[in-house]
Amino acid sequence: MLAPRKQKYRKQFRGSFRRIATKGNKVDFGSYGVKALEAGWVRDREIEACRVILARATRKVGKFWIRIFPDKPYTKKPPEVGMGAGKGDVAYFVAVVEPGKVLFEIDGVPEMEAQRVLKNVASKLSVKTKIVKREE
């Protein structure tokens, strides 16, 4: 799984989803991409599942880019533990996603194949997405 090598603090506040992505909102590297339509957290396992799909699709030809990284720790308390007694341990890491952020990009494969692969990738994610094409 993806996880940061080093962190300044082990646990973080949850934060709030208030903005629309201004950085990373265009397809910069590939020809096609998956763009988020809503705010949310994308787990490290979801990113890994998408990476496997993209790697299989672009094995012989093509290239893909992962534009998000899970750098926010998600804490969870063990089951059947009462309220109080501090914050739980870090369970996994999440990437914060804003509406308009391009999550994955692909290039070097035919359009129909790219659409099929990116639809499969979008089905693995917990946020609503759409497939976008690079603007020339």
Q: pLDDT (tens digit, 9 = 90+) per residue, 36-47?
A: 999 999 999 999
Pairwise CA distance, residues 51 & 34, whole Å: 13
Q: How confident is the model at residue 60 (pLDDT cuts 50, 70, 90)?
A: confident
Q: Is the pLDDT of residue 136 over 90?
A: no
For the chain, give every domain's residue range: 32-76+89-133
Q: pLDDT (tens digit, 9 = 90+) per residue, 93-111?
A: 999 999 999 999 999 999 9
CATH number of the domain at 32-76+89-133, please? 3.90.1170.10
Q: pLDDT (tens digit, 9 = 90+) per residue, 68-78?
A: 999 999 999 99
Q: Is 66 helix (H, G, I), strand (E, B) or coil?
A: strand
Pairwise CA distance, residues 45 & 51, whole Å: 10
Mean pLDDT of the chain: 93
Question: Residues 9-23, buried b or exposed e (16+ Cβ, 10 A)?
Answer: eeeeeeeeeeeebee
Residues 6+ apart with CB under 8 A from 82: none
Looking at residue 135, what is its pLDDT?
Answer: 84
